[in-house]
């Protein structure tokens, strides 16, 4: 049976699209059963529509607490029988509510070689620091920001000072590495 994925995103959704396309092409024996987005109007919402993938788009301000909207997400994921939760530019820390329900089955992609440059401006900070080797990390999600056990990393060299260029190079690697890593995890 193809693995059932939920992909969480807050913005552009290029990683979401890479995963959805790999499923559509048969390169990944899986289906994206749900896209979850905390930013109504984000570009990822239109991408999900183009793929015909059901989405849950919400505004956190409409809920009394993070636990409340996470319980709603869990209800929807349980109903679909989700195997693996892939955070792909989901710019929120997940709480114990989600971790208790799906802990060990939630992974995240981050645009640095962790544990260097955690947080939401990793590429800019790495360029500012002047590093020469950049990279991408996929890791399990626990209660610590960008902190869980590392599953995969891929490095690349760059000797310049343009964060946009690093983003461009890094995103190509992200798209390939995320698909490969999901495939390996679903086979386990």
Q: Which residues sit at the interface with ligand GAR, rule CB under 6 A?
A: 9, 11-15, 88-89, 109-111, 120, 122, 146, 171, 174
Beta-ladder partners of 133:
157
Nearest Cα to Cα of residue 36 among 3, 83, 69:
69
Nearest Cα to Cα of residue 113 among 139, 135, 141, 133:
135
To ligand GAR, the closest distance from the beta carbon of 78 in angstroms equals 25
To ligand GAR, the closest distance from the beta carbon of 64 in angstroms equals 26
- The span from the first CA to the last CA of the chain, in angstroms, equals 13
Residue 121 designated active-site: no
Q: CB nearer to ligand GAR: give 104 or 119.
A: 119
Beta-ladder partners of 140:
107
Q: CB nearer to ligand GAR: give 3 or 170.
A: 170
To ligand GAR, the closest distance from the beta carbon of 46 in angstroms equals 12
- Say which of 110, 121, 139, 175 is annotated catalytic: 110
CA 144 to chain CA centroid, nearest Å: 16
Q: CB nearer to ligand GAR: give 6 or 122.
A: 122
Nearest Cα to Cα of residue 34 among 62, 7, 63:
7
Q: CB nearer to ligand GAR: give 71 or 121.
A: 121
Residue carrying structure tokens 């570009």: 43
Q: At a CB cut-off of 8 Å and minimum separation 6, what does 80 contact? A: 4, 6, 33, 34
Residue nearest to ligand GAR (CB): 89
Q: Is 183 helix (H, G, I), strand (E, B) or coil?
A: helix
To ligand GAR, the closest distance from the beta carbon of 89 in angstroms equals 2
Give me the active site residues, please. Answer: 110
């Amino acid at each position: 049976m193809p693995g059932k994925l939920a992909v969480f995103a807050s913005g552009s959704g290029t990683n979401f699209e890479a995963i959805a396309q790999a499923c559509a092409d048969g390169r990944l024996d899986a289906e994206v059963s749900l896209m979850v987005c905390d930013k109504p109007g984000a570009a990822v919402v239109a991408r999900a529509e183009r793929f015909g993938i059901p989405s849950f788009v919400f505004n956190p301000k409409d809920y009394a607490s993070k636990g409340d909207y996470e319980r709603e997400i869990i209800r929807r994921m349980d109903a679909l029988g989700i195997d693996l939760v892939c955070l792909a530019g989901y710019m929120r820390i997940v709480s114990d509510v989600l971790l208790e329900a799906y802990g060990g089955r939630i992974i995240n992609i981050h645009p640095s070689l962790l544990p260097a440059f955690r947080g939401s401006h990793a590429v800019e900070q790495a360029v500012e620091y002047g590093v020469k080797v950049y990279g991408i990390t996929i890791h399990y999600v626990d209660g610590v920001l960008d902190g869980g056990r590392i599953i995969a990393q891929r490095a690349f060299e760059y000797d310049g000072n343009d964060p946009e260029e690093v983003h461009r190079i890094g995103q190509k690697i992200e798209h390939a590495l995320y698909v490969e890593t999901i495939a390996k995890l679903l086979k386990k």
